[in-house]
Structure 1
Amino acid sequence: MEELGPQIKKVIPSASKIEEYSGVLPGALLEYWRSYGWGGFHDGLFWITNPDDFSPVIKAWLAHVNIPKDSDYHVIARTAFGHLYLWDRQSGQTITISPHYSQIFTCPADSDIVSGNSDFSLKCFFSGQAASSLDFDDYKDKPLFKRAVKKLGILESDEMYSFEPALTIGSMPKLENLVKVKMVEQLVLLEQLGDVEVLHMDVSGHI
């Protein structure tokens, strides 16, 4: 967690809120909530989130995904550009939403989750969050985040960087097209602007 860098906009959830997610999310994540709360890292490039905030977003986006009825997905983290990481206690971090390109990435259930080791899986997820992979590249394959902060300012916890017009209706991923918007409202809107593409990623056969 310390490698994620200094924290911004930190909010420590109440003990009752943490208890509400006991048995739903990994114990390791709830310990992170107690110690670090919800907030941004890397100047707001990566955020640990309050899952409650994303209920309308999950409802909108997962209508297009064929998932088991007993699945219960929660957004546990997101990027400055609204890239969402979803967790299900039966399968782990198996759904990722890339809103600007109207894509949902799915992968098979995490073997550690299946064997009952959700804490290890959760720690692996967080340890793999490098700043270079969390950024959003422009049309010249150059990262946008630092330039977005300089132009638009650091995000609040309920904000994200988005493109105007949206990429799905013909815009280009350029700095001049970036705006700072309210996150939940924008994510719901982006789902409505184009056909959602579901891509299944399975790398197990290559490991």
Structure 2
Amino acid sequence: MLENFKSYYQPGSDCVPASEETIRKYENKVPGSLIEIWKTSGFGKYNDGLIEFVNPADFEDSLWTWLGREVPNYVPFAISAFGELFYYRRLTEVDEDVCIIDIQYREIKTLIWSMNGFFEDLLLDEEDRNVWLRESLFREAFKQQGELKKHEVFTFVPILAFGGAEEIEYLQKGNAQVYQDLVFQMTS
């Protein structure tokens, strides 16, 4: 399972398999494909930090802030290198999707209708990577500013809503949770 994803996305040296306690906490809330990633290569940066798979507990507060309420069947599982938050929604016993909170533009969008589709289609499509992960800008920022640490992202300064631009000279590094909260407060 997930052979294409695993052949394209290389886990970083910071990746750590999830604890059994974390697996137990979320195994009935997320699909087996995500649990497989958590058990094998684990939480951490992939492809130099283009995307980071995170312990949901670390980003639940951020998700609830952006949604305006707690939703038990929504699970944050990844961040982009620019602080966007990806979360999984179990809608019914058979319906699911993956959504993104685009913090820069205060938009919540459904990206794809399955976690397997997220791994095997969306993340492998070059156009989708440039739209949702800003891959070209990420590569430029990585080359200029170096690698990102755990939960660290490239931040737009000023934020895009206040005149920043999706260009290298507007980027700094910062903590993802703090950045998500700051952008939320500044654009509310």
Q: Report the Cα offset of residue 135 of structure 1.
A: 3.8
Q: Which has the higher contact order (CA 8 A, sep 6+)?
A: 1
> Residue in 2 aligned with 1:20?
25
Q: Report the Cα offset of residue 23 of structure 1.
A: 0.8
Paired residues of 1:85 and 1:96 also in contact (CA < 8 A): yes
Paired residues of 2:98 and 2:115 also in contact (CA < 8 A): no
* 1:151 and 2:155 aligned: no
State the TM-score, normalizing by the size of structure 1: 0.76
Q: Report the Cα offset of residue 131 of structure 1.
A: 6.6
- State the distance in 1 between where 2:32 and 2:131 align: 30
> Residue in 2 aligned with 1:55?
60
Match of 2:155 among 151, 162, 181: 162
| CA-to-aligned-CA distance 1:69-105 (integer Å, 9 cap, x gap) | 8652111222111222111222522431111122111
> Residue in 2 aligned with 1:88?
89
Larger Rg: 1
> Residue in 1 aligned with 2:7?
3
Paired residues of 1:86 and 1:94 also in contact (CA < 8 A): yes
Alignment of 1:99-118 (within 5 A): 99-106=103-110, 110=113
Paired residues of 2:64 and 2:71 also in contact (CA < 8 A): no
Residues 77, 4 of structure 1: alpha-carbon distance in 2 compared, 3 angstrom cutoff: farther
Q: Aligned residues: percent identity?
A: 28
| CA-to-aligned-CA distance 1:34-55 (integer Å, 9 cap, x gap) | 1111122221102222111102
| SS of equivalent residue, structure 2 residue 45 | strand
Cα RMSD after superposing both structures = 2.5
Q: Report the Cα offset of residue 107 of structure 1.
A: 7.1
Q: Report the Cα offset of residue 106 of structure 1.
A: 3.9
> Residue in 2 aligned with 1:98?
102
* 1:134 and 2:135 aligned: no
Specify the code of the residue in structure 2 equivalent to 1:194.
Answer: T
| SS of equivalent residue, structure 2 residue 87 | strand
Specify the code of the residue in structure 1 equivalent to 2:169.
Answer: E
Match of 1:182 among 175, 179, 185: 175
How many equivalent pairs are there? 177
Q: Which runs of 5+ in 2 are unaligned?
A: none
| SS of equivalent residue, structure 2 residue 166 | coil
